[in-house]
Amino acid sequence: MKKLIIANWKLNPTTIKDAQKLAASVFRRAKNTVVLCPPSIFLSQIKYPHLGAQDCFWQEKGAYTGQTSPLQLKSLKVEYCLVGHSERRQIGETDIQINFKLRTLLDHKITPVLCIGYGTTPEEDDLAVVDILRSQLDVDLQGIDASKIVVAYEPVWAIGIGKTPTSEHAEKIALFIKSKYNVGKVLYGGSANVMTSPAMLAERHIDGLLVGGDSLIAEHFNKIINF
């Protein structure tokens, strides 16, 4: 079955020319479904079959300086939007705000990719992961049809360092999220790269990957989307 592979370019690259070059080097036809999430300022000038945003605001329009509206994303044919990434939670995004964003995105038929995770060290993660995920999901998903949501489980300690939990751990968490919250799809994220991805993708309840660093290296990303 096709898995869903989402590229999170974060604040990269720094020019539209490089962004277009990167997008052009990603295979259009891959074994899996592929979504590119470039910086929002580049979205209108990136050509790729499936596009996602890295964030959006919960209001449609008005006096909200610096925000991006779901209607604006819709007008660019954006189909997915990351919400609640740990790098946004670190600068103050709350679960209540995340809940507003999920509601708005669903209203506009943009598929939200809700990022959850915890633990700045593997030890901390082991102790409290399920409790923390529950506390995030209980608020994030309040009043929401979770079957329409994609959840990305990203242990914070695994992001950007090249190490991951075992695929068995990620599978256990994916099963927990699906069985307790009726979530449609669960992805794994956090150093999902050309080395670590095959084992994650082989797990039954892991429906795909959210890839940061390795999505910027076309040669690696093209392998990941074809595993």
Out of 55, 125, 140, 154, the only residue in the binding site for ligand PGA (CB under 6 A) is 154
According to DSSP, residue 106 is labeled: H
CA dihedral angle for residue 91, residue 84, residue 189, residue 200, rounded to 10 degrees: 150
Output 73 or 192, the one with its CB closest to ligand PGA.
Answer: 192
Residue with tokens 């994303």: 73
Measured in degrees and rounded to the nearest 5, phi and psi for residue 89 equal -60, -35
Closest CA to 85 of 121, 40, 136: 136
Sequence-separated (6 or more) residues with CB below 8 Å from residue 75: none
Query: Is residue 85 annotated as part of the catalytic site, yes or no?
Result: yes
Residue type, 136: Q
Check residue 117 for interaction with ligand PGA (CB under 6 A). Answer: no
Site for ligand PGA in 53-72 (CB under 6 A): none
Q: Binding pattern to ligand PGA, positions 162-201, x when CB under 6 A?
A: ---------------------------xxxx---------
The residue annotated as part of the active site, out of 87, 123, 124, 154, is 154
Site for ligand PGA in 2-61 (CB under 6 A): 8
Strands (E), the chain: 4-8, 33-37, 52-53, 80-83, 111-116, 150-153, 185-189, 208-211
By rule CB under 6 A, what count of residues binds ligand PGA? 12
Check residue 225 for interaction with ligand PGA (CB under 6 A). Answer: no
Per CB under 6 A, which region of 72-80, 130-138, 209-217, 218-226 contacts ligand PGA? 209-217
Q: How far is the CB of 23 from ligand PGA (least distance, A)?
A: 18
Binding residues for ligand PGA, rule: CB under 6 A, are 8, 154, 159-160, 189-192, 210-213
Q: Which residues are catalytic?
A: 85, 154
